[in-house]
Structure 1
Amino acid sequence: MDHFLYKNGVLHAEDVPLAEIAEAVGTPVYVYSRATLERHYRVFDEGLASFPKRIVCFAVKANGSLAALAVLAKLGAGADVVSEGEFRRALAAGIPGEKVIFSGVGKTPDEMRFGLEQGVRQFNVESEPELEALNAVAVQRGVKAPVALRMNPDVDAKTHAKISTGKSENKFGIPASQIAEAVRRAAQMPGIRLTGLAMHIGSQLTDLEPFAAAFARMRRMAEDLRAEGISLERLDLGGGLGVPYEGRTNVLPPLPLDYGRVAEAALGDFVRETGAELALEPGRLIAANAGILLSRVVYVKQGEGRRFLILDSAMNDLMRPAMYDAWHDLVPVKEAPLDAPIGPYDVVGPVCETGDRFAEQRPLPPLVAGDLVAFRTAGAYGASMASEYNTRPLVPEVLVDGDRFAVTRPRPTYDEILSRDRIPDWL
């Protein structure tokens, strides 16, 4: 569910007509709904209600908007970050270091020091060399770093190859066959405070079976470690629950409540018996349907056997179709009549790349230059992956709250873009 609905024939974000935002801010522009962000966070959190000791840490990589993060912070969310920059975003949005989980395979010593200075809740360590580096940094500072070791359970997440993270050939985590020895080493290191185990098997999962398999493997590993006298205060299950991108299909991803039941079946009695906390790191599930990319038709071009809908948004504004062959529903802002003829368009942008294509032969009602269109389910990995390729100004962001909206990231001017560069005085 989201709060982007047609009212009187015009697509709105909550109670704001999208055409009003386009007029004020220009296009392309990302538009987020506060009500949708709040609803999705609550639905996910409530789906895990059987775990009284839990923390939901939003994956900042999905959407780094300070305004969106501030909305979630007010609901009590923590943050899952993969860089110092994302950590700083979380802090700036009001999420304290004690509610931040620092993930990622390549943390540098400087990033480790920053996390320790900010009182990070937990480092998710993904290799033994990283563990050794973190131990050295912590010892140098005279503190103990809170650590969960990320286990790679070798589970096929049955998702796109580029967003699968839990198979043995992926770069993420410590192989399940090596995790016990890594835990033993961590428990003996002077600069490490072992807090638990972590995993994250992939993104956009639409089947619960891989979760069940991964949770079961984590349970077995936790039990084996407990038998050795190694207690764990936290089990970090990661994120990955998918969202419905294709409005044309009746196949929907599992609900958070169903995900919660799988976690309960695998881990419920164990965490209650041991007093362990559950950590969750959703991103896409909370942010995707909370955002749209608003764009305008520049030209309609008739090619040889194909009709091209050329928009003012491009692959640098929404990378997912070019990178993952991802589908996003595309709808006109002015609602088409029920009897409007439907025809195929190749939907493309102005960037000088053949890959700058959002959709191929997409059935759409008639559209002409100047019409506004909206890419749905664009609130996750849209703006956060955007760039200024072709020296196109970075796409702005807007947050809607009821009948009001605010620009939360303005579109830079060309002068601002060029001012970041320097020409050496010897040229």
Structure 2
Amino acid sequence: MDHFIYRDGVLHAEDVAVTEIAATVGTPFYAYSEATLARHFRVFDEALDGMDHLICYAVKANSNVAVLKILGDLGAGMDVVSGGEYLRAKAAGVPGDRIVFSGVGKTREEMRMVLTGGIRQFNVESEPELAVLNEVAQELGVVAPITLRVNPDVDAKTHAKIATGKSDNKFGIPIAKSRAVYAQAAEMAGIEVVGVDVHIGSQLTDLEPFRNAFLKVRELTEELRADGHNIRRLDLGGGLGIPYARSNEAPPLPMDYGQVIKDTVGDMGVEIEIEPGRLVAGNAGIMVTSVIYNKEGEGRDFLIVDAAMNDLIRPAMYEAHHDIIPVLEPEVGADKVEVDIVGPVCETGDTFAKHRMMHPVADGGLVAFRSAGAYGAVMSSEYNTRPMIPEVLVKGDQFAVIRERPTFDEMINRDKVPEWL
């Protein structure tokens, strides 16, 4: 469920007409619904009701500080994968003891930053990282709480570029090797073992891979406890998918996901951490763009819009689907036409959809990309010297720009010409 619906023939974000936002900030832009963000967080929280748990929002999905503050104020923790994301979480008012630091390439500088600023735990991904973290912690005179991210060699049945739990992925420590690494960690003066971490991928639409992974974590936890480790937290990652193509996708509900957790590890006396990102933010956002031209080609027609692959790269990178709809509601029974929806960037890959059936939109008209709240703005760039597009937050009948569009002068003046030129 989201809060983007037609009212009086115009698409609204909560109680604000999308046309009003477009007239104020120009296109393209992202718009987020605070009510949808809050609702999706609460759905996950309710799914783990009765268990000791913390919902750590995956900051990489949408890292705008306003978004993080909404979730942090609701009690969310944060799952960060860089020093920059850590600082964003802190800027949003989230305390260090609710921040988990994941990622395969943590640097010494990042480790020092979060050990000094406060951290709930490091999800350690390799033996070299563990050794470096131990050194840094001892230099600072502190102890670093850790889980080891284990790779369970489970097929997540998702896109190859967002699968993370197979043995040939770069993530985690092979589960068969993990007991030996836990034994090493237990001997390190700067390390405190607190739990086990697993994450098998993103945009999962089947619960069975989760069940398989969690059962492997259960078995490992029992073995580690027998080895003398005080395993008191299980970080089960995120990855639950959302319905990008609403006509034919029906991913599992958070309540069903929560039941899998309860069925597999709910009796182990541990605190459960999960790290949803896409399901919290994805359907809480849209990208709105204007039609520049309707172009007739040979054998196909093109809808050329002012958003491009630098603004929303998922279709170019993952062949990802987004429902694309007119901002002005079509008449009931109106005919659709087949078009390729493309942007102005000089790349053939700057294509959002091919052979898409949709209602005609005239030059200058507005269209909205649904399910664009996650992995949209955060993955954008200034390719072709195109300004990063604004992000707008809506609450009820009010809206505010939470990231402004830079001017061309601001972009160009970041470049520095050496004295010898």
**Matches for 1:209-288 after TM superposition, within 5 Å:** 209-249=208-248, 251-271=249-269, 276-288=270-282
Identify the residue that residue 42 of structure 1 maps to in structure 2. 42
**Would the aligned equivalents of 2:322 and 2:370 in 1 still touch at CA under 8 Å?**
yes
CA-based RMSD of the aligned residues comes to: 0.6
Identify the residue that residue 309 of structure 1 maps to in structure 2. 303
Identify the residue that residue 291 of structure 1 maps to in structure 2. 285
**Matches for 1:85-234 after TM superposition, within 5 Å:** 85-234=84-233
Distance 1:106 1:164 in 2: 18
Structure 2: gaps spanning 5 or more residues: none
Distance 2:76 2:221 in 1: 26
* Consecutive aligned runs of 4 or more in structure 1 exceeding 2 Å deviation: none
Higher mean C-alpha displacement, 185-194 vs 226-235? 226-235
AA aligned to 1:69 is: L
**Matches for 1:26-105 after TM superposition, within 5 Å:** 26-51=26-51, 53-105=52-104
Q: CA deviation at 1:228?
A: 1.6
CA deviations 1:109-153 (Å, max 9, x no partner) are: 000000101110000000000000000000111111111100000
**Would the aligned equivalents of 1:50 and 1:264 in 2 still touch at CA under 8 Å?**
no
TM score, norm. by length of structure 2: 0.99
Distance 2:420 2:194 in 1: 54
Identify the residue that residue 385 of structure 1 maps to in structure 2. 379
**Would the aligned equivalents of 1:98 and 1:118 in 2 still touch at CA under 8 Å?**
no
Identify the residue that residue 421 of structure 1 maps to in structure 2. 415
AA aligned to 2:236 is: L
Identify the residue that residue 21 of structure 2 maps to in structure 1. 21
AA aligned to 1:402 is: G
**Would the aligned equivalents of 2:284 and 2:373 in 1 still touch at CA under 8 Å?**
yes
Q: CA deviation at 1:50?
A: 2.8
Identify the residue that residue 339 of structure 1 maps to in structure 2. 333
AA aligned to 2:216 is: R
Distance 1:181 1:10 in 2: 60
Distance 1:350 1:131 in 2: 46
Distance 2:50 2:190 in 1: 34
The number of residues matched between the two structures is 421
Task: Give SS of 1:260's match.
Answer: helix
CA deviations 1:337-381 (Å, max 9, x no partner) are: 112111111000000000000000100111110110000000000
Identity of aligned residues (%): 61
Identify the residue that residue 403 of structure 1 maps to in structure 2. 397
Q: CA deviation at 1:419?
A: 1.2
Q: CA deviation at 1:66?
A: 0.8
Distance 1:255 1:406 in 2: 31
**Would the aligned equivalents of 2:193 and 2:229 in 1 still touch at CA under 8 Å?**
no
Identify the residue that residue 355 of structure 1 maps to in structure 2. 349
AA aligned to 1:35 is: A
**Matches for 1:4-19 after TM superposition, within 5 Å:** 4-19=4-19
**Would the aligned equivalents of 1:152 and 1:176 in 2 still touch at CA under 8 Å?**
yes
Q: CA deviation at 1:94?
A: 1.1
Structure 1: gaps spanning 5 or more residues: none
Task: Give SS of 1:2's match.
Answer: coil
